[in-house]
A and B are shown apart, each in its own frame.
Chain A
Amino acid sequence: MKLNFKPAPNYRSKQSTTGIMIDLTLCLLAVALFSVVYYFKAYGSALGTRVLINLVATVAAALVTEALWFKAVKKDIKEGIMSSYGWVTALIITLISSVNANVYALIISTVLAILFGKLVFGGFGQNIFNPAAFGEAILMSTFAATSADLLSGATPTVTYKGFGWISTADQLSGVIAQYGGLGKMFLGMYDSTMGSTCALLILACLAVLIIRKDIDWQTPVFYIGGVFVISLIVGLVRGAGIQYALFNVLAGGVLFGGVFMTTDPVTSPVSIPGKILFAIGAASFTLIIRWKSNLSDGVLYSILLMNMLTPMIDRLMDGSQIKDSGKLIRNMLIGSCAFIAVALLVGIVAIQPKKSAAAEPETTVIAAEALETDAVYDTAWADAH
């Protein structure tokens, strides 16, 4: 019998890793195209070209970094780059950043993400953390002060953070109206991080990726569904209604992160029950971070946290997928229930609505308050998850 040894992702299906990555790249390019068109239409050529420059610069930085690395370790440069998929990381980093992001900051974050998030671990397939999330964490935590001030309006997550992520139905309606209603938010016609606005397009990408068997449907569906269900329960209990759940899914990076980042085959668990547990854990962490931390959105760090737990989940789900399916599903259910219980407890008992911001729901006031609560992160940046 011939045994094949190669790093993850290993697939039984005919779909090759390169094929998956090409589909993923095309989906990301579609999202990028949408944001270029949106900024050209909404703000003219200055911002439109800026989006283009950001995209091209990060992709170029990723490719150059990889070329230099493969030259340094004496590997074939072309083959190395083609099997490392650095451009996917670069595109995701740019798309989950604000258009305000400094090009230099984006380039440095991409280089550090590719180098320290992926290549030093042994390259694609060996990394612990999602390289794009790694890069975005660097961008957010260290380059907050250097962002350009092109758009002054706060993003939905930052605005709602001003209310403490929980409030009466009226206040929430006010925030949603500020961005043109849930329908416009679904179509992505508002300013936020570049790529994460158009829910319709991202869901279309999700459908394409699932139909072409590029990703397992469980991770994104349970992630987005988890955010929806938990926030629905919290919203109903706290009197914010069903629109609270819809806002939680549409605002910020839940959809983009759920489709393009939690599904990373390298940094998520191998088994299907493991993937479900991973997705529900990430959903719980996303909401807990939104409610209780200084950050306005929690998608990025929830994914990084679950990346860290992936080996533990894999060990918990260790065993034959067919023979031990009862045990696996039991472990998955216990773990998921624990995550959901903690999130519900935090959401229902621990969070306090901010009354002061409610009096004057002006963007600038809220932004100033958000700055007060968080001296480290710039508001516009904190929204980048």
Chain B
Amino acid sequence: MSEEKKKKSLIDELIYDNPVFGLYLGICSCLAVTTTITNALGMGVAVIAVLVLSNILVSLVAPLTPDEIHIPVYIAIIASLVTIVGMVMQAYTPSLYDALGAFIDLIVVNCIILGRAEAFASKNGIAASARDGLMMGLAYTLSVFAMAFIRQILGTGVLALKNPLTDTTLFSLRLLPVGFDIPIFTTPTGAFLVFAILAAAVTAYKNSKDAKAAAAEKARKAAEAKEKAAKAAAAKAAAAAKKAAAAQAEPAKEA
């Protein structure tokens, strides 16, 4: 029972509270890095690393930080982490670093990271903050991966994944015949289209789920009310019966 509940909340966290399609945060990088799944996964890993570490550090320093300067402090923490991640990527995955370009540095101003620092990490403990960072990072990675998956297949016809450490192609799969690719999906226009489709799909999913939950809630309330009414009726009947019994008893007493 509790296991299932936990599982459900995991999916909820990934889809319901999805930073990209649910909260519309961090869209800019989402549009830019989703040309191939390799870039998307690389960006996702970088964001996860920054998000987890920044959430941990922010939750540590939050009690010591005066309220007036908390945003500069958080930004300094995040910027240092992004610089570290960028340098590590430059050292070990140079091709990925080149492909992502300025968007690695721009993780600093990615709304998801400062948003989670502000909204969650500054008010919660280390373990909870780290978990929140991981979940948000995974949700971001899932979003960019979904976008890159669609864009790469439709735009180039080939789904290919590279190992950024060694620059070897792990697999390359042609899914559309030659000449049947739709190059608009490799352009920013295509990114907007795919983003809009996915955001609409997530919203539709949420709406249907909300409607279902509302219907279930209504049914539960109706059942409760019915039960209450039945109880009240029963109580009334019992009271009436008591009265009747008392009334019957009275003449007997008189007699």
Contact surface of A with B, Cβ cutoff 8 Å: 102, 104, 108, 112, 116, 120, 138, 141-143, 145-146
In this complex, how many residues of chain B approach chain A with their Cβ under 8 Å: the count is 8
Distance in angstroms between the alpha carbons of A116 and B183 in the assembled complex: 16
Looking across the interface, which residue of chain A has its beta carbon closest to that of B155?
A142
Looking across the interface, which residue of chain A has its beta carbon closest to that of B187?
A142
A-B contact pairs, 18 of them (CB 8 A): A102-B179, A104-B179, A104-B180, A108-B182, A112-B184, A112-B193, A116-B193, A120-B196, A138-B184, A141-B184, A141-B187, A142-B182, A142-B183, A142-B184, A142-B187, A143-B183, A145-B183, A146-B179
Question: Distance in Å from the Cβ of A287 to the closest Cβ of chain B?
Answer: 26
Distance in angstroms between the alpha carbons of A120 and B187 in the assembled complex: 20
**Number of A-B pairs whose CB atoms are under 8 Å?**
18
Question: Distance in Å from the Cβ of A60 to the closest Cβ of chain B?
Answer: 17
Q: A104-B180, A116-B193, A142-B187 are in contact. List 10 more A-B contacts (CB 8 A).
A: A112-B184, A112-B193, A120-B196, A138-B184, A141-B184, A141-B187, A142-B184, A143-B183, A145-B183, A146-B179
Question: Distance in Å from the Cβ of B60 to the closest Cβ of chain A?
Answer: 46
Distance in angstroms between the alpha carbons of A207 and B45 in the assembled complex: 63
Looking across the interface, which residue of chain A has its beta carbon closest to that of B179?
A146
Residues 186-229 of chain B, each 1 if its beta carbon lies under 8 Å from chain A, else 0: 01000001001000000000000000000000000000000000
* Residues of chain B with a CB closer than 8 A to A104's CB: 179-180
* Residues of chain B with a CB closer than 8 A to A108's CB: 182
Question: Distance in Å from the Cβ of B252 to the closest Cβ of chain A?
Answer: 70
Distance in angstroms between the alpha carbons of A211 and B193 in the assembled complex: 41
Distance in angstroms between the alpha carbons of A48 and B182 in the assembled complex: 26
Distance in angstroms between the alpha carbons of A313 and B179 in the assembled complex: 42
Question: Distance in Å from the Cβ of B47 to the closest Cβ of chain A?
Answer: 29
- Which of A102, A141, A142, A146 has most chain B Cβ within 10 Å? A142
* Residues of chain B with a CB closer than 8 A to A102's CB: 179
Looking across the interface, which residue of chain B has its beta carbon closest to that of A105?
B182
Distance in angstroms between the alpha carbons of A104 and B154 in the assembled complex: 13
Distance in angstroms between the alpha carbons of A241 and B183 in the assembled complex: 42
Distance in angstroms between the alpha carbons of A120 and B196 in the assembled complex: 10
Which chain B residues (16-62) contact chain A, with CB distance < 8 Å?
A: none
Distance in angstroms between the alpha carbons of A145 and B182 in the assembled complex: 11
Looking across the interface, which residue of chain B has its beta carbon closest to that of A138?
B184
* Residues of chain B with a CB closer than 8 A to A142's CB: 182-184, 187
* Residues of chain B with a CB closer than 8 A to A143's CB: 183
Question: Distance in Å from the Cβ of B34 to the closest Cβ of chain A?
Answer: 17
Question: Distance in Å from the Cβ of B202 to the closest Cβ of chain A?
Answer: 16
Distance in angstroms between the alpha carbons of A116 and B193 in the assembled complex: 8
Looking across the interface, which residue of chain A has its beta carbon closest to that of B200?
A120
* Residues of chain A with a CB closer than 8 A to B184's CB: 112, 138, 141-142
Distance in angstroms between the alpha carbons of A142 and B196 in the assembled complex: 19
Looking across the interface, which residue of chain B has its beta carbon closest to that of A108?
B182
Question: Distance in Å from the Cβ of A148 to the closest Cβ of chain B?
Answer: 10
What 10 A-B pairs come out closest when comparing CB atoms?
Answer: A142-B184, A142-B183, A108-B182, A138-B184, A146-B179, A104-B180, A116-B193, A142-B187, A143-B183, A142-B182
Distance in angstroms between the alpha carbons of A112 and B190 in the assembled complex: 11
* Residues of chain A with a CB closer than 8 A to B183's CB: 142-143, 145
Looking across the interface, which residue of chain B has its beta carbon closest to that of A146?
B179
Looking across the interface, which residue of chain A has its beta carbon closest to that of B180?
A104
Question: Distance in Å from the Cβ of A169 to the closest Cβ of chain B?
Answer: 41
Question: Distance in Å from the Cβ of B191 to the closest Cβ of chain A?
Answer: 13
* Residues of chain B with a CB closer than 8 A to A141's CB: 184, 187
Distance in angstroms between the alpha carbons of A142 and B186 in the assembled complex: 9
Question: Distance in Å from the Cβ of B35 to the closest Cβ of chain A?
Answer: 14
Question: Distance in Å from the Cβ of A163 to the closest Cβ of chain B?
Answer: 30
* Residues of chain B with a CB closer than 8 A to A138's CB: 184
Distance in angstroms between the alpha carbons of A116 and B192 in the assembled complex: 11
Distance in angstroms between the alpha carbons of A145 and B155 in the assembled complex: 13
Distance in angstroms between the alpha carbons of A301 and B187 in the assembled complex: 19
Question: Distance in Å from the Cβ of B188 to the closest Cβ of chain A?
Answer: 12
* Residues of chain A with a CB closer than 8 A to B193's CB: 112, 116
Distance in angstroms between the alpha carbons of A141 and B179 in the assembled complex: 16
Question: Distance in Å from the Cβ of B200 to the closest Cβ of chain A?
Answer: 8
Looking across the interface, which residue of chain A has its beta carbon closest to that of B154?
A108
* Residues of chain B with a CB closer than 8 A to A116's CB: 193
* Residues of chain A with a CB closer than 8 A to B179's CB: 102, 104, 146
Question: Distance in Å from the Cβ of A366 to the closest Cβ of chain B?
Answer: 26
* Residues of chain A with a CB closer than 8 A to B180's CB: 104
Distance in angstroms between the alpha carbons of A102 and B183 in the assembled complex: 14
Residues 122-139 of chain B, each 1 if its beta carbon lies under 8 Å from chain A, else 0: 000000000000000000
* Residues of chain A with a CB closer than 8 A to B187's CB: 141-142
Question: Distance in Å from the Cβ of B70 to the closest Cβ of chain A?
Answer: 41
Question: Distance in Å from the Cβ of B89 to the closest Cβ of chain A?
Answer: 31
Question: Distance in Å from the Cβ of B203 to the closest Cβ of chain A?
Answer: 13
Question: Distance in Å from the Cβ of A115 to the closest Cβ of chain B?
Answer: 9
* Residues of chain B with a CB closer than 8 A to A112's CB: 184, 193
* Residues of chain B with a CB closer than 8 A to A145's CB: 183
